[in-house]
Structure 1
Amino acid sequence: MLKIFISKEIDLDSKELSVIAALNGLYSNKQDYLITSVSGIGYFLSGSFLKRTVRRDRSIADNIKGALQSLNDRKIIEIIEQDGDNYIISNNGLEVDTENQKFVVVELWEMQHIFTNAKMPFNLFTFFVDLVGTINNKTKEWHMSQDDMASQWGCSKRTVNDYLEQLEEMKLIYLYRHRKRRTDGTYHKVNNSYGRYADASLVIQEAEKYVESVECEDDYEKIDRRSIKLRYNAFCNGAKRYQNNPAAIVQLLEECRKYNKSLDYKPIETLDSDGKFKEADKLDLSVFDNIPQDFVECSDEWGEADPLTHKK
């Protein structure tokens, strides 16, 4: 499959990057120039001819034409001659110096898969190129955080998450979610590991090595802390539902333990009597001291099990 080389040392917008990638793939170093067209570049990007009657295709064609003009204006490429949507482009800037430049390699089918399926193909392709550019060539995996992606590539974390999901669905990227938190006091989630989908087995292998090098613990399930606190207060105030109902009490105790544990990695801020913010206190579990000890021990053993049926 044809490989496309993209320099990491030229500042390009998403449209320029996509077009320069196409020009790199179309150009042969046996020639002094490249004869091409908006239609030809569109076919190279998407694997099919663009139809001017289709709004999406028309938008892609207009963006290709605009990118060619801006690349020429910035002297990244040199348009020798133009006749409408047809171009003769010199070989200047069409090749990547792989000996002296940092570069990313993508395959033609990857580009065409994105341009065929993505709603915003130029943006998603640029994100894909940036993401692939972080992957370790030897291990086939990396673990850059979504916060860093958003910061370095100038987009929101929500956009990063959306693009990753799209690339997962297209089976271009394999994402390994660790579901663990660091125990360094920050309790930040351990960064997800990722790599090309074709390298999924290697990504998993390296991800497991990576997480072993990080001091962490299992990520805790999401809990409704407000609901737990309300039920805890009801119990303390003698609510009828807990009278002669040790199973319900044990269930509440387990939820209160989770509530307290959650405060270690995600504190709650409250206002004190002086109007200043402070971290909320943990729930006082001594109120459960009168529960029969055999129920408490069973609760520890069963974990998420129902205290009465013992079934998880």
Structure 2
Amino acid sequence: MRLKNFQRFDTMQLLKKIPVDLIDVSPWQGRLLDMSVEPQGDTSPAEAEALEQLMQSIEINGLMQPITVREIDGRYELVDGHRRLLAHLRLGLPEIPALVSHYTDKQAQALTVIANLQRKNLNTIERALAFEKILSNGLFADRKELSQAIGKDETYVNDLLNTLSMAPRVVEHLAKTNAVRDARLLRMIRRAAPLHKPEGEQRQWELYMLVVNQNMNRSQLADHLKKDKPKQPAQWNIKFRQRQVDITLKTGKLTPERIEKIQELLAKKLEDLLEELS
């Protein structure tokens, strides 16, 4: 369900110039991503600059890529091309080149959402919330179908959605700063400090801030977690016989140096033990 797959599906698209006042925004565009095609609509500085550049290009070269619409009851619903339509509205141009498609409701809704998700500069939490809202509205059957539609693997979608269940302070900081953009790195933090464990929320926050402050990648965090892992108590077993004691000690991987050290330590401990028993 990627964009190119939709375009391949509809081979009956008709290219024509359409009056801009006959084009309506897709209801899914406003509902899911809170965007507007009104000429006076607010935009961020980056979006405003990009829009200004597009307007200059249209004035000089015309529109290089037509928008995509579908005809409904004598009017047209915008499927793809929000910024191009907005540029024409700002320039006061009466018509815009458009491909008139024959998408079904679901195809049009999906294409509108996917196009905006791919283009809009969403941070990690905003994207996760958008995915959550898309799924709750039933546009896609499940996470697998959503992942196929946006051209990502299902693990990516799961990781992104799971960021919403992290410690509240982590989610709030991510929403404000977008300090960690790697969803798999956030997954490592969640697994190392699950919230159901004692002090899990505090531990998760500390790990998150460590990653932020030291600009860690996955490999660096893995090294830190390995060093920070608490040492496991020695595992040993004793069997008492009539004239001897058998001691089994689990040592882990043995190297020549490790064997020599164990022999020295055991010899000393056994000498002390025999001396006390004598």
Larger Rg: 2
- Normalised TM-score (structure 1): 0.25
Normalised to the residue count of structure 2, the TM-score between the two structures is 0.27
